[in-house]
């Protein structure tokens, strides 16, 4: 059974990722749901899920099949993306190529290949005690950040600050991961043309 901490963190992680979706949809071409399009590639940010004292979420990008036409080329594209994203810190928990068959009216079948990244963060990694302490001092001295939640679920001001930090950190983690995927797609597209 999930803990109260897990449930609250998941709620505020969802708010952070939803804010990121809105930001990306306002900056790029909006698609249905939690998706947007940038440079002919559709991206999607999932909702978070609470699993085993961690928050998980996925980011995916469509492999541009109008530029990468054969199954062998798609596999190569995926392997290059995987290689680029395997570097640096905060690597995805898993990187998979997913094939989705889509048929909205049962008349035509469309195949779409996606790069799907799974990220997993332990609950205690979603906030930093020093950041919370500094934010709490500001709140107590009347210099509260207007984006800080006043959650009835948090019994103290410090609890509200923690939830606000969790929300902002999830938005930042999601954005950092998304920017890496977008850069990887750009790098692989450029190298496959050259």
Tokens of 56: 């998980």
Task: Give Cα separations from 59 to 7, 81, 103, 125, 182 (angstroms).
Answer: 21, 13, 22, 19, 11
Q: Is the pLDDT of residue 104 over 60?
A: no
* pLDDT reported for residue 30: 95
Total number of domains constituting the chain = 1
Residue bearing tokens 């978070």: 48
pLDDT in tens, 105-164: 555 555 678 999 999 999 988 887 677 667 767 666 666 665 555 665 656 666 778 888
Confidence of residue 96 (pLDDT cuts 50, 70, 90): very high
180's enclosing H/E stretch is helix 157-193
pTM (whole model) above 0.95: no
* pLDDT reported for residue 120: 95
Tokens of 148: 């800080």
Range of the domain at 181: 4-193
* pLDDT reported for residue 11: 93
């Amino acid at each position: 059974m999930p803990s109260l901490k897990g449930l609250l963190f998941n709620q505020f992680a969802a708010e952070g990722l939803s804010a990121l979706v809105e930001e990306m949809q306002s900056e790029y071409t909006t698609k249905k749901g939690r998706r947007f399009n940038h440079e002919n590639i559709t991206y999607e940010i999932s909702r978070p899920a609470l699993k085993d004292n961690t928050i998980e979420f996925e980011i995916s990008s469509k492999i541009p099949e109008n530029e990468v036409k054969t199954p062998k080329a798609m596999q190569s594209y995926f392997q290059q993306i995987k290689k680029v994203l395997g570097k640096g810190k905060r690597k995805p928990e898993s990187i998979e190529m997913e094939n989705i068959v889509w048929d909205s009216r049962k008349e035509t079948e469309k195949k779409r290949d996606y790069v799907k990244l799974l990220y997993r963060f332990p609950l205690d990694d979603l906030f930093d005690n020093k950041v919370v302490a500094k934010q709490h001092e500001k709140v107590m001295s009347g210099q509260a950040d207007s984006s800080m939640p006043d959650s009835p679920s948090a019994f103290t001001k410090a609890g509200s600050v923690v939830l606000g930090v969790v929300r902002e950190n999830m938005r930042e983690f999601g954005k950092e991961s998304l920017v890496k995927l977008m850069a990887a797609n750009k790098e692989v597209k450029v190298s496959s043309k050259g």
